[in-house]
């Protein structure tokens, strides 16, 4: 298990211990306060260069990361490479070595292919790579901001702070993840974050949207979606990526909504304190009813807000941790 | 021509391993055993401690010419083969364009004749390997083509495959199938299972291979045709073919070294060097293949040597092409799987030379006149296609030190047991002391 990401690339949440996760969450909490200042900047990464390299466009994630880097006073190189590297005839290695030649300390990378961030970290081992989503593999900062948001809300309820609570509020917490787990990098990161912190995770999805082999996954399958909703302290919905063909894994979007959508009727089964989450962008009316998305217990906007301090923490620990630890 | 004598080796004949010498004059083995009087001026190859056997025959080499000469040429592939102890290669037809006409097959045969090895050609089963209509198998058979395959993919349409088997049967040729049902395997990049599920990579299920093996066994039963299964990779595939063989069907199969040395866990690091079709399978499948090799239940080892330009293996895992190099380390990996020791020598030559020569029809009894004969017994009168293999030598694979134009070996840095000391192909000493002459 890895106990700290200081000075390390952040490619996956697989293998991170509760201690490593809590360190990131605690660091993020110190950055929350920065957002409420008039001058929303700390000099932590002053003089450092962070490149944001999005092979697959995602305005929200890119903005969140770039805002995070700027609040840490890093210089940001924003590179538009959304068109496929293959179409341009350039290999992943050539793309990253070219950008590295500009002189960078870190790269925030989004790619449509699973594993691309890990590959890039091998090509430029001296550069810290922060994975902003790779194919259907991992989306570490989304997993982190999800557990951060849950901890923040639970701490408020218990009249404590996240930092004081560490990981203890996750002990035995019931988390239900619903929908297209098979194609979801968010689900893979979420499951690893929640279970490492001590939560119990259940999955509810039609068989075709489950990964082919989940035997090693630290989760259980919900036999009955309605009962699972009553069981849940947290419901994490996933986007049905019908633009990538996930729609063909179910007979129709309407049937998916009828069987696994969080409709108003189903939302009424939730306990009042159950937290509803969605990584966005939502398909309103598909995996989540529009009215449910606007319930007070739906914390989707808060997830987005928390994205910035969590990404500041990831960048800070990954990049600034470098010299303090004397790591090469 | 020239003369040479191979001294003090252990000669792997048809049934035994015996100390002795081999004298080659003008491309033919003229004497074996203890040779007391060697004519003066004869080149001497020291085979002390080595096995001397029939040169290896690869049923499955992608030479990439025409079309992908940046990855390999017929000439560079032949050199890689020579270093690996091969004396004959069967060139796969998935070039650009595919080898589906007299002109294209003749081109490869003529180019091949100028290399140090015998280059046989496998023709395409269907025009352009498109799986729509039959290629001119009769015309190509007349040129000496003995194997036909759409390798790269299998013939998906069962009706067309049935027709191909029926058409090929009286031509005295054999079809060879890349078994993967594309509707099950398509878009998949590694073996389907727990690891692919965790890595978020789309899987190519074992069933995609096994289903086509089942289908083709039944088509062979129906048509009475002859079929060779390329690079079988799962325990179940082997069991299916063994059962068909017991029933007397005319089916043979090969396994590739990467499938009996590497398992799906190699894909954990998302390095496209480990991407291959069929994919690296489960550890249990690897063990089953190794067990089959040891117990004599495999017809041939074939490399599926698949060179790719380096930049293509620097793409993302799902965007990179499938395939890995094989010629220069296949023999070492086979020896390792067999467990080393001199008692495996005959099995070793059966797997790498005699078995494949039989399937490719390259033996003295059936070789087309344009090729010399391979897979022999090392007796006087045979064409001199010989390998001198040191089963105790250890060496490290260096991707930059290979004869292939490409570098996509999954074994870079790995220490291997057993190395080719000398290769005599078409009567000429082309490799000595492990180096090309």
Is any Cβ of chain A less than 8 angstroms from the Cβ of B200?
yes
Secondary structure (DSSP) of B307-367? ---GGGGGS-TTTSPP-B--TTTHHHHHHHHHT-SGGGHHHHHIIIIIHHHHHHT-STTT-
Interface touch B200/A215, C-beta < 8 Å: no
pTM of the model: 0.95
Judge if B46 and B59 occupy the same domain.
no
Upper half-sphere CA count for residue A180 (Cβ side, 13 Å) = 29
Q: How much is the pLDDT for A325?
A: 44
| The pLDDT value given to residue A20 | 98
pLDDT band at A327 (very low <50, low <70, confident <90, very high): very low
Q: How far apart, in Å, are the Cα atoms of A229 and each of A138, A175, A198, B248?
A: 25, 10, 20, 59
Q: Is the pLDDT of residue A298 over 80?
A: yes
pLDDT at position B38 is 81
pLDDT at A86 over 60: no
Return the percentage of chain A with pLDDT > 70, whole number. 96
pLDDT of residue A45: 96
Q: Which of B194, B316, B319 sits opposite A216 (nearest CB)?
A: B194
Q: Model confidence at A328, in pLDDT bands (50, 70, 90)? A: very low
Q: How many domains does chain B have?
A: 2
At A87, the pLDDT band (50, 70, 90 cuts) reads: low
Q: Domain A140-304, what fold?
A: Rossmann fold (3.40.50)
Residue A209 class from Cβ within 10 Å (0-12 exposed, 13-18 middle, 19+ buried)?
Answer: buried
The answer to whether residue B90 scores a pLDDT higher than 80 is yes
Question: Is residue B314 flagged as an active site residue?
Answer: no
Residues of A in contact with B201 (CB under 8 A): 114-115, 135-137
Residue B398 is assigned to a structural domain of this protein: no
B322 dihedral zone (left: phi>0; alpha: psi -120 to 50; beta): beta
**Residue B247 DSSP code:** T
Equal fold, A18-138+307-320 vs A140-304: yes
Interface contact flag, A116 B270, Cβ < 8 Å: yes
DSSP 8-state class, residue B207: H
Task: Assess whether pLDDT exceeds 70 at residue A121.
Answer: yes
pLDDT digits (tens, 9 = 90+) for A174-197: 999 999 999 999 999 999 999 999
B375 found inside a domain: no
Does the beta carbon of B265 lie under 8 angstroms from any beta carbon of chain A?
Answer: no
* Catalytic residue (choose from B181, B304, B383, B390): B304
Question: Could you tell me if B34 and B81 lie in one domain?
Answer: no
Per-residue pLDDT tens for B281-314?
999 999 999 999 999 999 999 999 999 999 999 9
Whether B374 is covered by a domain: the verdict is no
Same domain, B21 and B71: no
The overall average pLDDT reported for chain B is: 97
- Mutation site, A114, A207, A208, interface B, largest B CB count within 10 A: A114
Q: Which tokens is B280 given? A: 């690296």
CB A36 within 8 A of CB A309: no
Q: Where do the structural domains in chain A lie, given as residue ranges? A: 18-138+307-320, 140-304
Residue A52 near residue A26 (C-beta atoms within 8 A): no
> CB-CB: which of A14, A119, A215 is closest to B194?
A215
Is B371 contained in some domain? no
Put simply, the answer to whether A185 touches B200 (Cβ < 8 Å) is yes
Check which CATH number belongs to the domain holding B266 and give it: 3.20.20.140
Contact between residue A180 and residue A174 where contact means Cβ atoms under 8 Å apart: no
Same domain, B224 and B262: yes
Q: Could you report the per-residue pLDDT of B97-120, keeping only the tens digit for each?
A: 999 999 999 999 999 999 999 999
Pick among 3.40.50.970, 3.40.980.10, 3.40.50.1370, 3.40.50.1220: CATH of A18-138+307-320: 3.40.50.1370
Residue B427: which domain range? 3-51+380-392+406-436
Q: Do A111 and B316 touch (CB under 8 A)?
A: yes
pLDDT at A246: 75
Per-residue pLDDT at A81 = 75
- Using DSSP, state whether B51 is helix, strand or coil: strand
Looking at residues B53-82, what average pLDDT do you find?
Answer: 98
- Do B172 and B276 lie in one domain? The reply is yes
Do residue B316 and residue A119 have CB atoms under 8 angstroms apart?
yes
B180 shares a domain with B72: yes
Q: With helix as H, strand as E and coil as C, how does chain A read?
A: CECCCCCCCECCCCCECHHHHHHHHHHHHHHHHHHCCCCCCCCCCCCCEEEEEECCCCHHHHHHHHHHHHHCCCEEEEEECCCCHHHHCCCHHHHHHHHHCCCCCEEEEEECCCCHHHHHHHHCCCCEEEEEEECCCECHHHHHHHHHHHHHHHHHHCCCCHHHHCCHHHCCCEEEEECCCCCCHHHHHHHHHHHHCCCEEEEECCHHHCCCCCCCCCCEECCCHHHHHHHCCEEEECCCCHHHCHHHHCCCHHHHHHHHCECHHHHCCCCCCCEEECCCCCCECCCECHHHHCCCCECHHHHHHHHHHHHHHHHHHHHHHHHHCCCC
Q: B14 and B59 in one domain? A: no
Are A113 and B319 a contacting pair at CB < 8 A?
Answer: yes
8 Å CB contact of B317 and A119: yes
Tokens read off for B419: 């190395």
Q: How far is A166 from chain B (nearest CA, A)?
A: 28
User: A73 to chain B, minimum CA–CA distance in Å?
Assistant: 32
Cα dihedral sign for A283, A286, A290, A295? negative
φ/ψ of residue B417, rounded to 5: -105, 130
CB contacts < 8 Å between A and B, how many? 81
Tokens of B304: 């599926």
Q: Is residue B372 part of a domain?
A: no
pLDDT reading at A322 higher than 60: no
Give the CATH number for residue B10: 2.30.40.10
pLDDT interval class at A326 (50, 70, 90):
very low
Test the A interface: residue of B196, B314, B412 with most A CBs within 10 Å: B314
Asked if residue B242 and residue B119 are part of one domain, the reply reads yes
Answer yes or no: is B367 within a domain: no
- Looking at the structure, tell me whether residues B8 and B91 fall in a common domain: no
The tens digit of pLDDT for each residue in A31-40 reads 998 888 899 8
The 10s digit of each residue's pLDDT in A153-178 is 999 999 999 999 999 999 999 999 99
């Amino acid at each position: 298990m890895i106990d700290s990401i200081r000075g390390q690339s952040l490619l996956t949440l697989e293998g991170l211990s509760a201690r490593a996760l809590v360190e990131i969450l605690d660091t993020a909490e110190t950055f929350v306060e920065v957002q409420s200042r008039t001058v929303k900047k700390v000099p932590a990464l002053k003089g450092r260069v962070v490149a944001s390299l999005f092979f697959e466009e995602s305005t929200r994630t890119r903005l969140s990361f770039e805002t995070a880097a700027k609040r840490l006073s890093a210089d940001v190189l924003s590179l538009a490479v959304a068109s496929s590297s293959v179409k341009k005839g350039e290999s992943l290695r050539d793309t990253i070595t070219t950008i590295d030649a500009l002189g960078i300390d870190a790269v925030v990378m989004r790619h449509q292919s699973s594993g691309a961030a890990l590959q890039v970290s091998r090509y430029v081992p001296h550069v810290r790579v922060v994975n902003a989503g790779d194919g259907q593999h991992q989306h570490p900062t989304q997993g982190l901001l999800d557990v951060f948001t849950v901890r923040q809300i639970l701490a408020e309820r218990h009249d404590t702070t996240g930092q004081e609570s560490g990981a203890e509020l996750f002990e035995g917490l019931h988390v239900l993840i619903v929908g297209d787990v098979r194609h979801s990098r968010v689900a893979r990161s979420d499951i690893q974050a929640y279970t490492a912190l001590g939560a119990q995770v259940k999955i509810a999805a039609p068989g075709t949207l489950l990964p082919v082999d989940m035997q090693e996954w630290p989760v259980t399958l919900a036999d009955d979606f309605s009962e699972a909703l009553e069981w849940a302290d947290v419901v994490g919905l996933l986007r049905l990526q019908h633009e990538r063909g996930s729609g063909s894994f179910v007979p129709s979007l309407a049937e998916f909504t009828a069987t696994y959508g969080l409709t108003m009727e189903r939302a009424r089964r939730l306990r009042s304190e159950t937290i509803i989450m969605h990584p966005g962008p939502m398909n309103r009316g598909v995996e989540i009813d529009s009215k449910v998305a606007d319930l007070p217990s739906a914390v989707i906007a808060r997830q987005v807000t928390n994205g910035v301090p969590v990404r500041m923490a990831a960048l800070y620990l990954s990049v600034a941790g470098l010299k303090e630890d004397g790591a090469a | 021509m020239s003369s040479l004598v191979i001294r003090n080796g252990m000669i792997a004949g048809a049934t035994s391993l015996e100390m002795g010498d081999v004298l080659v004059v003008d491309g033919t083995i003229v004497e074996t055993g203890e040779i007391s009087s060697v004519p003066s001026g004869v080149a001497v190859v020291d085979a002390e401690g080595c096995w001397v056997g029939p040169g290896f025959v690869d049923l499955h080499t992608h030479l990439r010419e025409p079309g992908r000469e940046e990855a390999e040429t017929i000439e560079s592939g032949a050199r890689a083969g020579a270093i690996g102890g091969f004396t004959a290669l069967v060139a796969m037809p998935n070039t650009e364009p595919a080898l589906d006409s007299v002109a294209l097959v003749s081109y490869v045969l003529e180019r091949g004749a100028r290399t140090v090895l015998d280059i046989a050609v496998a023709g395409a089963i269907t025009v352009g390997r498109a799986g729509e209509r039959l290629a001119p198998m009769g015309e190509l058979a007349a040129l000496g083509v003995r194997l036909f395959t759409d390798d790269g993919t299998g013939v998906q349409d069962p009706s067309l495959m049935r027709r191909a088997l029926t058409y090929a049967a009286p031509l005295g040729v054999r079809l060879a199938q890349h078994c993967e049902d594309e509707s099950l395997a398509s878009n998949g990049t590694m073996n389907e299972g727990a690891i692919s599920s965790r890595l978020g990579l789309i899987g190519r299920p074992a069933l995609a291979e096994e289903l086509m093996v089942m289908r083709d066994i039944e088509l062979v039963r129906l048509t009475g045709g002859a079929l060779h299964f390329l690079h079988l990779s799962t325990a179940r595939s082997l069991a299916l073919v063994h059962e068909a063989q017991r029933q007397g069907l005319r089916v043979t199969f090969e396994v590739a070294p990467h499938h009996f040395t590497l398992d799906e866990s190699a894909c954990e690091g998302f390095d496209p060097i480990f991407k291959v079709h069929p994919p690296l399978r489960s550890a249990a499948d690897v063990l089953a293949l190794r067990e089959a090799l040891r117990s004599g239940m495999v017809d041939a080892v074939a490399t599926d040597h698949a060179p790719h330009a380096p930049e293509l293996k620097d793409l993302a895992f799902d965007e990179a092409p499938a395939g890995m190099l094989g010629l220069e380390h296949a023999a070492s990996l086979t020896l390792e799987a067999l467990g080393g020791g001199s008692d495996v020598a005959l099995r070793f030559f059966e797997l790498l030379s005699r078995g494949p020569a039989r399937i490719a029809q390259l033996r003295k009894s059936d070789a087309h006149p344009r090729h010399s004969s391979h897979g022999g017994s090392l007796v006087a009168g045979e064409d001199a296609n010989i390998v001198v293999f040191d089963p105790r030598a250890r060496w490290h694979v260096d991707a930059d030190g290979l004869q292939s134009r490409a570098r996509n070996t999954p074994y870079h840095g790995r220490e291997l047991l057993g190395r080719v000391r000398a290769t005599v192909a078409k009567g000429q000493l082309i490799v000595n002391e492990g180096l090309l002459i």
